[in-house]
Amino acid sequence: MKVMQKRILGNNGLEVSALGLGCMGMSWSYGPPKDKQEMIQLIRAAVERGVTFFDTAEVYGPFLNEALLGESLAPFRGQVVIATKFGWAPASESEENARWSALNSRPEHIKRAVEGSLKRLQVEVIDLYYQHRVDPQVPIEEVAGAVKALIQEGKVKHFGLSEAGVQTICRAHAVQPVTALQSEYSLWYREPEKEIIPTLEELGIGLVPFSPLGKGFLTGKIDENTKLEATDFRSTVPRFNTENRKANQSLVALLHKFAEQKNATPGQVALAWLLAQKPWIVPIPGTTKLHRLEENIKAVDCQLTLGDLREIEEAASKITIQGARYPEDMEKKSGL
């Protein structure tokens, strides 16, 4: 098993590999679920290459993704960190196959949700338990209190939030220290730099960027001619319509330029840029392909100098990204 550079999330010493693996796309959102045996092999290949941080959620599938991780990582108990999330529920509690469009972070629901996650993940304690989205119906203090109780019971080690705003983060942190915030952050979505990142720095909370490759766009493998299937949720995202994909190629061109200088790929430069922002940032690129996993992992060795970072900053500041990152109804639920 290879050793990757490690990073610490939060003030309570949660140590993880500098790059994690987002597992959502293996079961959900980017077309039909992938072949289970292939995904088990891929997850185990990530462990062999030094990845110790794996991201899932109850809603991915629903349930399929947690069960996939539980089976895949069973041989590596104690060697890996698994993060999962609560906070969604079927529109009708009794319909497990119903559309999971309802937010539910009521303490009694969290109590039920954690039992299901523990069982599917085949663990006795969840390393990092995120609230998946802020629930406007439940005060964040009650949510933090419910997770605090789970930590005291030994069912959860660390509390996390996802896509929460500054006030929510501060209020939650006052009840139960937040170890990590998961939010979208990359060269094509930099909103967290305004208020979120300074707040995390001040409070000692780690940042786990999801979609660090812009849902695949920053790899340079997607252009205006790429066909997106109806089952691929990117087909509903304004930023991925044909016109915007064409307009946003200027950012990919910038990454290509640095990739050539560094003998790297555009995706590796995008990840290296994120890693260079703060020592407590741990991106979780997702993939279903071994060659992409290996490419992403090599980003940890791609060193950008201060001069490189200044040059990227200067060039990126002249580029305006076209298109919203989510359809309007989803953006409203993002919690920011």
Tell me: pLDDT of 330 over 80.
Answer: no
Active site residue 130: no
**Does a structural domain hold residue 110?**
yes
- Total domains in the chain come to 1
**Does a structural domain hold residue 330?**
no
**Does a structural domain hold residue 229?**
no
**Does a structural domain hold residue 158?**
yes
Going by pLDDT thresholds of 50, 70 and 90, the confidence category of residue 97 is low
pLDDT digit string (tens) for 199-255?
Answer: 999 999 999 999 999 999 999 999 999 999 988 989 999 999 999 999 999 999 999
Task: Give the per-residue pLDDT at 335.
Answer: 42
What is the DSSP code string of 158-201?
Answer: EEEEES--HHHHHHHHHHS-EEEEEEE-BTTB-GGGTTHHHHHH
CA distances from 108 to 87, 105, 124, 142, 278 (A): 11, 8, 20, 10, 36
**Does a structural domain hold residue 226?**
no
What is the DSSP code string of 79-138?
Answer: T-EEEEEE-EE-SSTT-TTS---EE---HHHHHHHHHHHHHHHT-SSEEEEEESS--TTS
Task: Give the per-residue pLDDT at 216.
Answer: 94
For residue 16, give the CATH number of its domain.
3.20.20.100
**Does a structural domain hold residue 31?**
yes
Task: Give the per-residue pLDDT at 243.
Answer: 94
Q: Which two tokens stand for residue 88?
A: 């969604």
Share of the chain above pLDDT 70, in %: 96
pLDDT digit string (tens) for 45-88?
Answer: 999 999 999 999 999 999 999 999 999 999 999 999 999 999 99
**Does a structural domain hold residue 323?**
no
Residue 186's domain comprises 6-220+278-302
CB neighbour burial string for 44-71, b if at least 16 within 10 angstroms, e if fewer: eebbebbbbbbbbbbbbbbbbbbbbbbb
Going by pLDDT thresholds of 50, 70 and 90, the confidence category of residue 336 is very low
Q: Rounded mean pLDDT of 308-321?
A: 96
Share of the chain above pLDDT 90, in %: 89
Q: Which of 60, 130, 185, 189 is labelled catalytic?
A: 60
Q: Is 271 exposed, middle or buried (0-12, 13-18, 19+ CB in 10 A)?
A: buried
Tell me: pLDDT of 94 over 70.
Answer: no
Going by pLDDT thresholds of 50, 70 and 90, the confidence category of residue 1 is confident
**Does a structural domain hold residue 215?**
yes
Q: Is the pTM of this model over 0.85?
A: yes
Task: Give the per-residue pLDDT at 100.
Answer: 78
